[in-house]
A and B are shown apart, each in its own frame.
Chain A
Amino acid sequence: MVEFQRYKLSNGLTVILHQDKTTPMVVVNTLYDVGARDENEQKTGFAHLFEHLMFGGSINILEFDKELQKAGGESNAFTSNDITNYYEIIPAQNIETALWLESDRMLSLAFTDKSLEVQRNVVIEEFKQRYLNQPYGDVWLELRPLVYEKHPYKWATIGKDISHIENATMSDVKSFFKKYYNPSNAILCISGNFDKSIIREQVETYFGGIPGGLKPARINPQEPKQEEFKCKSIDRDVPANAFYYAFKMGPRKSSDYYLGDIMSDAVGKDSSSILNIALKKELELVTEISAFITGSLDDGLFIISGKLSEGISFDELDKQFWIELDTIKQTGVDAEKLIGIKNKISTAKAFQEQGLLNRSINLSFFELLGDANGINEEPLIYQKIETNDLIVFAKNTFVKTNCSLLKVCNNA
């Protein structure tokens, strides 16, 4: 059970306090309700580029990292299609440094040209390192627009194209900050060994004076229901032919998320999973196969991907692939396997919650979903899932007209 307190400042900032007296550290986690899905289609990659700029100095503080390191702390951040999340990990006695730094960059950034220019280059190198300079690196750049036609999930967090990052201007940066980086669009979670008697006062001192703003409205185009099977082949210099079957499923807040999570473990988590046994071990059609869900806040994806064995065609795999999915639609996941998966989820959860940072990020994320207490309620949701629920999920999800297939063909 993760204990916490929650309240709102008058400027709209949501604050979550989670005390843990067994650690010598404090984590200050700030989640902004903005991600790549909030970008303009002509200016993609912006939420992520902006995350980099948040380390380039704020209105009253020249060098963010330097001040934090001087206090023995460290920080990092990540951006997804849905959110942008920042954190500082710092010795508990120096908590004020983290509050000072995080609140100052919520107040306003320094907006220097040098920072923008350098971070544009850094992000371009990140684009190359992650997406271009390795085999299969650009798969998500291809898969997203194949699956999503209207919804902004059709571009990746890094952006649609390098040119979008190259063309980012200071006025873009400023308006993005103004719109999304205000207290009413943020969740602040402080966890660790803080002093309960003064923490609220400390938060008020640093964050209370930041002017409130409007929480920006989100009007994303709805993705129309997929009516037909979609397939695309791309030729690349890769060692083996690879396949990515993407099925649409419900959003993070729907029961689909939990069903999909369990189902992906059952069909493709490890060597004892259904598709590993059938397609790899028994039929030797693939050299690897795995399944996972994207867990997106809007309609997400159930992905089954892998690599073909030498001499096996995409069609040979495809035929058998649908036979296996049909079996799952009839029989679901057997009871014993389901218990194993639930047990593994419980273990994973216990290990995750051991870490202060994980607890902090999860509390913030669940609060974004509607209630930080979700962190404590989730285990029960998993435990209640039964074979029949999984059959219903499979019947709704593993349908050909709900599927997009990306084939990466070895062109050598």
Chain B
Amino acid sequence: MLDRNTAPATQKIQKINFVEPQVLWINDSVKLLWMKDVPNETSRIDLYFNAGLRQDRNVIVSLCSSLLLSGTKQKSSTQIHEQIDQLGAYFDIGLSHEGLLISIFALKKNLLKAFCLIFDSIQDATFPDKEIAEKVTEKRERFKISSAKVGFTAQRKFQEKIFFNTPYDELTQISDFDNISKKEIVDFHDKWIKKGLYKIAVVGSIDSKELETIRFRCQSNCITSPITYFKDFCNSPGAFHVEKKSAVQSAIRVGKTLFNKTHDDFFDFSILNTILGDYFGSRLMKNIREDKGYTYGIGSAIAETGGSGYFIIGSEVGTKHREASLNEIKKEIELLNSLSIGKSELELVKNYLLGQMLKAADGPYAMMDLFLSVDAYSLDMEFYNRYIERIHQIQSDELKSISKKHLQWDSMSIVSAG
């Protein structure tokens, strides 16, 4: 007879086999990574450009990145897009402060063609006036819509406090869209796209000759010296509120300057972050959603930059629960500073993290993404073995001291909007 009151026995994950991609060098600073064992017809190529927001005015960088496929001397925007469609390919453009990522997805039989088409179109982009005008209008409209959201307002305020007085502190204004010259876009393109490629990652069982073609084609567009990243961030602490009368929810962002994977405390803080707010059973979720019902969701995260990073808690809560929610967040942080985490909670989080690690290593795409996320900090897959080891070993008192060291309420930038 089945005993439903007793949980089935479980096995702990001890070891995960991480597979590194093959590494080919294009020059001293630029790698081409290749994960070639893919058990199906899919393939992806990621192109990383040193063309992030920090390199120029936000509006120029953002326009340039979204106009990369808007036409060349030979082809109109529509022609380029129709040719991409013919190949059944997709692309995705992601822009951050520190980089621009263009990902191309296609069946492997079409990957090389899709790459050549997209790469050439990007490099030969001429930025037709009509395309610029159209994109400016579109972006201005989107900006207006975003501005009406409390989450967007709070995030801007938070960025202002986190990136205070650094090359990352520009906030886009609506008037920026009225003040654009084609020359600025073209100059940016010349400097950061034509000469800014700094990493290429290929997933797919394509032919090695095809990979060689990709490598050859990229050569003249690569950076030639290593990229340096800004390191000296320091958030401005304190509480800041942006009032929005009509809002039925308030957005909350709480956080501070932290660090990235290269820091000695990274593993411990990651585990602590999970306990506080990075899974469904986290303390913030348990308290503010599952006990109080103030929100649909609340979470915390570590956001990394090339030379540093920051910690952030985010949520949208009913306006009348704003103060109460902030108080509970504070309470949860102080609890981590003062009381040791119980044995069963720590055991649960350890098992959960190991399970998530196994899932994050499932398949060639996941494996490449794991590699990219350590390679960005000049680390290798050994990082994850060390992390797994640390998860197994860490004790409650060590988490308490890491919390005391990094999670002081007075050091936080506390932002709300709504």
A is bound by B = yes
Residue total for B at the interface (Cβ-Cβ under 8 A): 71
B88 within 8 A of partner (CB) = yes
Verify A133–B106 contact, CB threshold 8 A. Answer: no
Give Cα A270–Cα B293 distance, bound, in whole angstroms: 39
Interface centre among A59, A125, A277, A350 (most CB of B within 10 A): A125
Please name the residue on chain B nearest to A272 by beta carbon.
Answer: B81
Q: A70-B10, A354-B40 are contacts. A287–B86 as well, Cβ < 8 Å?
A: no
A337 within 8 A of partner (CB) = yes
Verify B249–A72 contact, CB threshold 8 A. Answer: no
A93 within 8 A of partner (CB) = yes
Please name the residue on chain A nearest to B17 by beta carbon.
Answer: A24
B95 within 8 A of partner (CB) = no
| Chain A 97-114 interface mask (CB, 8 Å, partner B; 1/0) | 101100010010000000
Question: What residues on B are CB-neighbors of A343 within 8 Å?
Answer: 85-88, 110
Q: Which of B28-36, B262-270, B351-359, B401-409 has 4 or more CB atoms under 8 Å from chain A?
A: B351-359
Question: What residues on A are CB-neighbors of B9 within 8 Å?
Answer: 96
Residue total for A at the interface (Cβ-Cβ under 8 A): 81
Instruction: Give which listed residue, A72, A270, A280, contacts B355 with CB less than 8 A.
Output: A72
CB distance from B390 to the nearest CB of A (A): 17
CB distance from B317 to the nearest CB of A (A): 7
Verify A126–B296 contact, CB threshold 8 A. Answer: yes
Please name the residue on chain B nearest to A67 by beta carbon.
Answer: B7
CB distance from A207 to the nearest CB of B (A): 10
CB distance from B181 to the nearest CB of A (A): 21
CB distance from A90 to the nearest CB of B (A): 7
Verify A340–B85 contact, CB threshold 8 A. Answer: yes
Q: Please report A residues at the B interface, Cβ cutoff 8 Å.
A: 22-25, 59-61, 65-67, 69-75, 89-91, 93-94, 96-97, 99-100, 104, 107, 117-126, 128-130, 132-136, 205-206, 209, 237-240, 270-272, 277, 280-281, 284, 287-288, 307, 309, 336-337, 339-348, 350-351, 353-354, 356
CB distance from A97 to the nearest CB of B (A): 5
Q: Please report B residues at the A interface, Cβ cutoff 8 Å.
A: 2, 4-5, 7-11, 13, 16, 39-42, 77-78, 81-82, 85-90, 105-107, 110, 134, 137-138, 141, 144-145, 147-150, 246-249, 279-281, 289-296, 316-318, 347-349, 351-352, 354-356, 358-359, 361-363, 365, 418
Give Cα A128–Cα B246 distance, bound, in whole angstroms: 12
Please name the residue on chain A nearest to B114 by beta carbon.
Answer: A347
Instruction: Give which listed residue, A72, A107, A130, contacts B356 with CB less than 8 A.
Output: A72
Give Cα A282–Cα B237 distance, bound, in whole angstroms: 50
Question: What residues on B are CB-neighbors of A209 within 8 Å?
Answer: 2
Give Cα A348–Cα B133 distance, bound, in whole angstroms: 31
CB distance from A137 to the nearest CB of B (A): 9
A-B contact list, 30 entries, CB within 8 Å? A65-B280, A65-B281, A70-B347, A70-B351, A72-B351, A75-B280, A90-B355, A91-B11, A91-B13, A96-B9, A100-B4, A100-B7, A107-B4, A128-B318, A133-B248, A133-B249, A238-B148, A277-B78, A287-B137, A288-B138, A307-B141, A309-B137, A340-B85, A340-B86, A343-B110, A346-B107, A347-B89, A347-B107, A347-B110, A350-B42
